[in-house]
Chains A and B, each alone.
Chain A
């Protein structure tokens, strides 16, 4: 899942996947602006068929935070199935 996320971030923002780490700060390390973060979350929602709330988006800091949200929501979905 982390590799998929790295690939999405890499393609969306033209960042070398090697530079994308769990503790990478989206804004300060990867220089992703607010619109970029919104668009990334939209693509994640479509890819994983999940919903990311505005509150979650606002609190998002690192790649690890994003991964946790995806994992939590896809696990919930799996449990329901």
Chain B
């Protein structure tokens, strides 16, 4: 007799984003259509072609860290640790008799502690090698988000940093989901954090011609719009607590939604250019549908990767059409990057949280600032204002340099139906 696969639910969430530093503030911002994009203040960008970014302004650290702790962290570590503590507290794990030897953490990053690396470069050039901080290496490594969170939460279980550029957050959540479903783990905090609004990162992405160079924040990150011309860098972190339904039920945990499908693959085509026909991305979506055991017609909303680059949005449109057939032109689609900018690896994590909130409240966040339709991106875009609509199953896409593709599928949690 076949046993039914274990079910995995989301029991806690934490967010640091340009439009809110708590889950509630983030969700209010998404529903209101708040644009988090503004002139760069993190450094003097006057010599840069790129002048806009979606910064986390006035990071609220007081509730989490003593002043002396700040310098032992890089910015992406602070974001990750704050989001993880929010998620942990939210899940009620702190007051549950959970075995910390089996508490896992899969929180990664696309780029890691670039801010500290740049500062070390300056110190090296100006003051010499003997003045480089001993904290440089342990605040730069990408795995230090997961490592530091483990120390904060005494989480001694499986601890990984899955790095797949801008798919890092989605892959981390997807891999954690499969790990729990397989029975190998009971609970994992998963997500990603990125803080790359730094001179080197902005210059590097600009050199690739991947970034928007205009000066109007309201026409900068405009996914699927015919006048889109590149991404806008954002920063932040998203962490979710994934848990087996058995354990979540046993400890009466709050349940935000269920994760039911995950598909990942690689274009194996180009480091930076997406597979032109959307073929591989469509297969990632199809893999996620098979994993969930559902048909594409059951998808009620897609939170697109939608970076506002010419190539991504066209390619993602093709991929959605290939994967969903005639349902592709009917299913509502939006990109919350229109509000948050592109949080790199953290993007997939905060967008997973956006999907779970959309399911819970029956609200589709909009692609804001959309104006000019592009025939190559003729999806059923939710633009302007968020829309109320009952949702049962939603899909979130994330793709990263290196050709990494990840699709996640979430389902509304109906506690009455489960009784």
Q: Does A38 sit within 8 A of B, measured CB to CB?
A: yes
Q: Does B66 sit within 8 A of A, measured CB to CB?
A: yes
Chain B residues with CB under 8 Å of A39's CB are 133-135
Q: Are B68 and A42 in touch, CB under 8 angstroms?
A: no
Interface residue stretch chosen among A6-14, A21-29, A63-71, A72-80: A6-14
Q: Are B66 and A14 in touch, CB under 8 angstroms?
A: yes
From A11, A38, A46, B68 is in contact (CB under 8 Å) with A11
Q: Does A35 sit within 8 A of B, measured CB to CB?
A: yes
Chain B residues with CB under 8 Å of A42's CB are 131, 133-134
Q: How far is the CB of B113 from chain A (nearest CB, A)?
A: 15
Closest to A13 in B: B68
Q: How far is the CB of B73 from chain A (nearest CB, A)?
A: 13
Chain B residues with CB under 8 Å of A11's CB are 68
From A13, A14, A35, B134 is in contact (CB under 8 Å) with A35
* Listed A/B pairs (18) with beta-carbon separation below 8 Å: A11-B68, A12-B68, A13-B68, A14-B66, A14-B67, A14-B68, A14-B69, A35-B134, A35-B135, A35-B138, A38-B134, A39-B133, A39-B134, A39-B135, A42-B131, A42-B133, A42-B134, A46-B131
| Assembled-state Cα–Cα distance A13/B133 (Å) | 15
Q: How far is the CB of B46 from chain A (nearest CB, A)?
A: 31
Q: Which of B30-70 contact A (CB under 8 A)?
A: 66-69
Q: How far is the CB of A11 from chain B (nearest CB, A)?
A: 6
DSSP class of B's interface residues: helix, strand, loop or mixed?
A: helix
| Assembled-state Cα–Cα distance A3/B133 (Å) | 24
DSSP class of A's interface residues: helix, strand, loop or mixed?
A: helix
Chain B residues with CB under 8 Å of A38's CB are 134
Could you list 7 further interchain pairs (A-B, Cβ under 8 angstroms) beyond the known A38-B134, A42-B133, A46-B131?
A11-B68, A12-B68, A14-B68, A14-B69, A39-B133, A42-B131, A42-B134
Q: How far is the CB of B277 from chain A (nearest CB, A)?
A: 50
Using an 8 Å CB-CB cutoff, how does the interface string of A32-59 with B read, 1 for contact, 0 for none?
0001001100100010000000000000
| Assembled-state Cα–Cα distance A39/B138 (Å) | 13
| Assembled-state Cα–Cα distance A58/B193 (Å) | 36
Chain A contact patch, size range: under 10
Q: How far is the CB of B66 from chain A (nearest CB, A)?
A: 5
Q: How far is the CB of B140 from chain A (nearest CB, A)?
A: 13
Using an 8 Å CB-CB cutoff, how does the interface string of B119-135 with A read, 1 for contact, 0 for none?
00000000000010111
Most buried by A among B66, B68, B131: B68
Closest to A15 in B: B68
| Assembled-state Cα–Cα distance A42/B71 (Å) | 14
Chain A residues with CB under 8 Å of B67's CB are 14
| Assembled-state Cα–Cα distance A11/B66 (Å) | 10
| Assembled-state Cα–Cα distance A12/B138 (Å) | 17
Using an 8 Å CB-CB cutoff, how does the interface string of B134-147 with A read, 1 for contact, 0 for none?
11001000000000
| Assembled-state Cα–Cα distance A38/B138 (Å) | 13
Q: Which of B85-144 contact A (CB under 8 A)?
A: 131, 133-135, 138
Q: Which of B121-175 contact A (CB under 8 A)?
A: 131, 133-135, 138
Chain A residues with CB under 8 Å of B133's CB are 39, 42
Q: How far is the CB of B111 from chain A (nearest CB, A)?
A: 22
Closest to B127 in A: A46
| Assembled-state Cα–Cα distance A42/B134 (Å) | 9
Q: How far is the CB of B135 from chain A (nearest CB, A)?
A: 6
Q: How far is the CB of B288 from chain A (nearest CB, A)?
A: 42
| Assembled-state Cα–Cα distance A11/B133 (Å) | 16
Q: How far is the CB of B13 from chain A (nearest CB, A)?
A: 30
| Assembled-state Cα–Cα distance A38/B130 (Å) | 11
Q: How far is the CB of A44 from chain B (nearest CB, A)?
A: 13
| Assembled-state Cα–Cα distance A7/B250 (Å) | 50
Q: How far is the CB of A32 from chain B (nearest CB, A)?
A: 11
Closest to B66 in A: A14
Chain A residues with CB under 8 Å of B131's CB are 42, 46
| Assembled-state Cα–Cα distance A39/B66 (Å) | 18
Chain B residues with CB under 8 Å of A46's CB are 131
Q: How far is the CB of B124 from chain A (nearest CB, A)?
A: 14
Q: How far is the CB of B61 from chain A (nearest CB, A)?
A: 13
Chain B residues with CB under 8 Å of A14's CB are 66-69
Chain A residues with CB under 8 Å of B134's CB are 35, 38-39, 42
| Assembled-state Cα–Cα distance A14/B65 (Å) | 11
